[in-house]
Structure 1
Amino acid sequence: MAAYFERLDDTRFRATAAVGGAWDPDEQHIAPALGLLTHVIERTFAARLADGLQLGRLSFDILGTMPIDVVEVETRMLRPGRTVELVEASMSHGGRAAVTLRAWLMARHDTQALAGDAFEPMAGVDEVEDWSGFDAWPGEFVRTVDVRGRRLGQGRAQVWLRPRVALLETEDVSPTGRLLSILDIANGITPRFAPQAVLFPNIDLTAHLFAQPHGEWLGFDTIVAYGSTGLGATHTVLHDENGVIGTSVQGLTVRERPA
């Protein structure tokens, strides 16, 4: 596959077979859609980004499933400002809303002297083996990503991922858009129980970024937790080959599959 999506015009995109989902191969895996919304935000508000703003937080709400078909994307400004702006993008199929993104654009400041974190480092790409953890999942999307990593326990893993498919074949996509096009895969990296036994789809994803990713590989240091009343969360510390670049959290609805 050359790309996850094909642009048809300013607002419409055709999904390709490469987005085939993990819960249902005939539906879209939501990860490429999140990348597409991020890309559309960056293109729509390119002038503001060039004027010194940057993507800081991206919060997605997943409102429904989508077939592998044409989708429509719209954007709008919610809160303009000189140093902080809130913008929104939405994706729909056949007039039905499927995903919304609210993103904060935040001013750049020179904080090199203050930069640092206390997150644990990950083993490097060359220090871990090819990963077979996605073998339990159906769908084409998970086959479009190179994976290396190690499992550290039930619901705990450190994995490096590299997409082999472009988000859009004919357009340049930023490193952030490329990251967001695979970020939702975090929920399937190290589930606490096999997806054949337990359902745990995520209803949202919120990413806080403090650096733009560099390099081909993206690191996912992921922990999965399920509560006792059907709620759960997948928490991931995001790395590139230089170190930590941000975090993401996905809220889950958890239940056992019917016997």
Structure 2
Amino acid sequence: MSEQFASDGKVPAPAYFERTGPGRYRPTAHAGGAWNPGEIHFGPLSGLLVHAIDQHRAAQGAAAAEMQLGRVSFDILGFLADAEIEVQVETVRPGRTIELVEARATIAGRTAALARAWFVATNDTAAVAGGETTPLPAPDAAAPMSMAETWSGGFVASIETRVVGVPQPGRTTAWLSTQTALVAGESTTAHAAYIALVDTANGIAVRQSPTEWMFPNLDLTIHLYRQPVGAWVGLDTSVTFGPDGHGLTSTVLHDIAGPIGRAEQLLTVRPL
């Protein structure tokens, strides 16, 4: 993609997607996938689906202070081609205390991914809050780690990674951050920007070399008991391979203020 300049002559901040029309987006090189050429990574696509859900709710007059994202589940239906994406959003279950919204991403005429998000009414429960895990050491205390040594693609290259402790096969704790915007020229919610990096959990704690084994995830489910803050995504991740070609990537999610929820990814494991 050719370099374009803003009206002030400066190069605009990089983004994973550019809007091409109502509900339509074009991936940039920064969204490039890690498994195959000609595909995009699901990480930024998951963030884009949440971004579209947020815009849909805002257009309907939903107030962010009244409801917060509690769960979002994604199903990845196949190859995510590096092509224009159409996103359609509908409210499946409206309500004042709970609301379910669905988004569908279509690429090259085929439904490529689905997202379902539950929004839950807010209440003051600070007096009974508790049960969370121990916070991670701060990102400043973690050591730089290059994911590019294991994975290729524009998305991986766009992420800054810092590791807590010594990574082990199938077990890694790391902080991730990016300077790349989700959609060029558009502001995004904190939870959409955060979620765009969560799918990377399956790549930070590899159990087997991706040059010998494939273990792509079929889904991603995120539960939040607190909304994310700050620019860093903390992933305390464990990967399990079963004996029959199935695997599971399980992650405790953190931000700079502490733990905020969990994520699970179902894997299909097979030799190359």
Structure 2 partner of 1:67? 81
Q: Report the Cα distance in structure 1 between the residues aligned to 2:221 and 2:106, rounded to whole angstroms.
A: 20
- Separation in 2 of the partners of 1:139 and 1:240? 25
- One-letter code of the match for 2:25? F
1:14 paired to 2:26: yes
Q: How far apart, CA to CA, are the structure 1 residues paired with 2:89 and 2:191?
A: 18
Deviations 1:200-231 (A, max 9, x none): 00000000012221112111110101100011
Letter matched to residue 91 of structure 2: M
Counterpart mapping for 1:158-169 below 5 A: 158-169=173-184
Q: Distance in 2 between matches of 1:243 and 1:154?
A: 25
Structure 1 position 254 matched with structure 2 position 246: no
- Asked if 2 retains the 8 angstrom alpha-carbon contact of 1:209 and 1:246, the reply is yes
Q: State the 1:51 CA deviation.
A: 6.4
Structure 2 residue corresponding to 1:36, chosen from 21, 45, 48? 48
The answer as to 2:158 corresponding to 1:138 is: no
- Return the letter of the residue paired with 1:104: W
Q: Distance in 2 between matches of 1:211 and 1:192?
A: 30
In 1, Cα distance between the equivalents of 2:135 and 2:23?
A: 40
Q: Does residue 1:240 correspond to 2:259, yes or no?
A: no
**Does the 8 A contact of 1:133 with 1:190 survive in 2?**
no
What are the ranges of 5 or more consecutive residues in structure 1 without an aligned counterpart?
none
Partner of 1:191: 206
Alpha-carbon offset, residue 134 of structure 1: 3.8
Letter in 1 for 2:121: A
Answering whether residue 184 of structure 2 is matched by residue 172 of structure 1, we say no
| Aligned-partner Cα distance in 2 for 1:121–1:156 | 17
- Distance apart, 1:152 and its partner CA: 4.3
Candidates 131, 136, 148, aligned match of 1:117:
131
Q: Aligned letter for 2:21?
A: D
Q: Does structure 1 retain, via aligned residues, the 8 Å contact 2:83–2:108? A: no
Aligned-residue offset at 1:100: 0.3
Matched, 1:49 2:73: no
Provide the residue aligned with 2:103 in structure 1: 89
Q: Aligned to 1:45, what secondary structure does the other structure show?
A: helix
Q: Is the 8 A contact 1:204 1:251 kept in 2?
A: yes
Question: 1:128 corresponds to which residue?
Answer: 142
C-alpha RMSD of the superposition: 1.3
TM-score, scaled relative to structure 1: 0.95
Q: Which piece of structure 1 moves more, 36-45 or 121-130?
A: 121-130
Tell me, which stretches of 5 or more residues in structure 2 are unaligned?
Answer: 1-12
What one-letter code is carried by the residue in structure 1 that aligns with 2:49?
Answer: L
- Amino acid across the alignment from 1:238: L
Kept in 2, the 8 Å contact 1:220–1:238? The answer is: yes
Retained in 2: the 8 A contact 1:66–1:93? yes
Letter in 2 for 1:175: A
Residue pair 1:25, 1:138 contacting (<8 A) in 2 also: no
**1:56 alignment partner, SS class:** strand
Tell me, yes or no, if the aligned pair for 1:59 and 1:204 is still in contact at 8 Å: yes
Judge which range, 190-199 or 150-159, deviates more.
150-159
Task: Find out whether 1:202 has 2:217 as its counterpart.
Answer: yes
Deviation >3 Å, runs of 4+? none
SS at match of 1:104: strand
